[in-house]
Structure 1
């Protein structure tokens, strides 16, 4: 079976879509499928990185496009290779208009979404976020026979997280080690805000890990700041679960990595860096699994200083946050084929 993945990533829109699609693609390959990616150019697009992972990558034009012209180019690629399998689409700029054009050229279409703001023409839809109205979100947005996989129990987790969950340590509330990671591109430069907050707090003795991706436009400046402050700098790594397990507190964004932190019970202060993160971040905060810093425009260096002080002064709050995070993600898939992979391979 050959599976196509239509997804984009860049410095501007972030790299989370790419990361979860590569993870899913690796699962599909292990199950016996072959996978090709179709992506558009743009600063920080990660096309070369995806190719280095061993996948065939077809690069289209620049990021600005219409759905019809995008579909036409994708159809040309499909027609050249041929397809007896699925098209997976993970893209906020594509909806049923694009999917209806693609439909005759593939066997099935699967959509990865978390906005629930547009209609889809697909047989399978995955939304791995936690929201208060989870079961109703897609009621009128997909065909009646579309299979819906909704909520954190369907979280796509890399093997390193599944393995680490079995060996994760129980946190006691003391803050000695901090993890800073705001995604592969960090378009709002929250990383530097937190580094400035750590300096302003004048708290000594903290071990700080700072993680960035190659799509981060100021990663050189961040590396230099880490060197001056004796922090530990990491770029485009594959051992994030280990850093999460070792950390006592994390500063990060909403999105997929928020759920990964929760899965390992890592207490975290979460900043909303994109509109699509608002609903799930607020829901996780109401559950008690995270501390919600709010939308990045309203978050300043002093706010990060204050949340660090809060964590240091109230260790029991930190312990309770860790316990609630584990409770929220307690039923995530841990063994066997992920339901998305199983459905695709059976289809």
Structure 2
């Protein structure tokens, strides 16, 4: 069995789409499936990381003189070329591979792209979060909280199997492995270890803005702050310099390989409202969630309504928002207890296994 992933990472797209596809690829590889990736080499791509994980990457060039038309999609600019141009680049590769499945995880692709590749594969799967465009696929996954299959019924073929909700969240196996330990150590909540993680790319340096706000907040004297950044984050040196000049000891870690362990050992995360939300929920980590993009708003609101996180926008009132939350927690640790319980009910960490089983059964 052979699977081709069409996914990109960039400073604009971020790293979450590629990382969840890598998670799924690893689960498939354990079942003996051969996985290939088709990725355009945007600035901030993760092609070398994918190759380092042992997968074949078919690199698609960035055309510096191409200015794509809007294809009618909100995120058309993420592709860097038109869908027709992307089809032209991908077709020789996919037609040669003749995969059992093509898995597409890209906001800038829709049924126009997917229909072109139906003759070259047995099945096609789409990973989406937006429910804002039509798809031509046999299996669709939207792992977001509050998403319903009915949100997609008018957007996919009648035969398409639709998987929705964090029960299908694509998490690496180590998050499930550490779930019991993480929940057990939170039976007595504390605030001694905070993680600050604004996503794998953080192109606008939200990390630096949050650090500025934290400098003005009253935290417990023995509270440690660990900043986690991706290898392609453009502001790493700035953040490192900023951290070294702060009155509080700030530990900056780049491109960590033990994220699950770090999360399991922390007491609170100040984090972006991206795909790491499901990792935090699996481990029951209380979260002060910063919304960085419009496409994160819906999921962030759903998590807050569930009691799994407290959300706020990255704006001028950030200092006041954080200060109020820390004062609230210091006066009543039940705030953390409630978030721990609510977050842990969102997902159990077995979503990737469920998705892969569905894909294999359908094959």
* 1:174 corresponds to 2:190: yes
CA drift at 1:300: 2.9
CA drift at 1:167: 1.4
**Which of residues 244, 261, 270 in structure 1 aligns to 2:289?**
270
Q: Secondary structure at the match of 1:88?
A: strand
Aligned to 1:213: 230
Aligned to 1:315: 333
CA drift at 1:302: 3.6
**Which of residues 241, 251, 260 in structure 2 aligns to 1:241?**
260
Q: Secondary structure at the match of 2:144?
A: coil
Separation (CA, whole Å) in 2 of partners of 1:101 and 1:56: 22
- 1:281-306: per-residue Cα shift (whole Å, max 9, x none)? 10111111110113x35653443333
Check whether the contact 2:217–2:322 (CA below 8 A) recurs between aligned residues.
no
Counterparts of residues 48-127 of structure 1 (less than 5 Å): 48-62=48-62, 63-80=79-96, 82-127=97-142
Aligned to 1:251: 270
244-253 or 115-124, which moves further after superposition? Answer: 244-253
CA drift at 1:198: 1.9
Q: Secondary structure at the match of 2:345?
A: helix
Matched positions, count: 341
228-237 or 139-148, which moves further after superposition? Answer: 228-237
Aligned to 1:165: 179
Aligned to 2:8: 8
Q: Secondary structure at the match of 2:256?
A: coil
CA drift at 1:263: 1.1
Distance verdict in 2 for CA 1:195–1:171, change over 3 Å: farther
Runs of at least 5 residues in structure 2 that lack an aligned partner in the other structure: 63-78
Separation (CA, whole Å) in 1 of partners of 2:358 and 2:282: 24
Check whether the contact 2:149–2:162 (CA below 8 A) recurs between aligned residues.
no
CA drift at 1:228: 3.5
181-190 or 27-36, which moves further after superposition? Answer: 181-190
**Which of residues 172, 186, 192 in structure 1 aligns to 2:208?**
192
Runs of at least 5 residues in structure 1 that lack an aligned partner in the other structure: none
CA drift at 1:224: 2.4
CA drift at 1:79: 2.3
Separation (CA, whole Å) in 1 of partners of 2:338 and 2:359: 38
Q: How well do the aligned residues superpose, as a CA RMSD in angstroms?
A: 1.7
TM-score under structure 1 length normalisation? 0.93
Q: Secondary structure at the match of 2:234?
A: coil
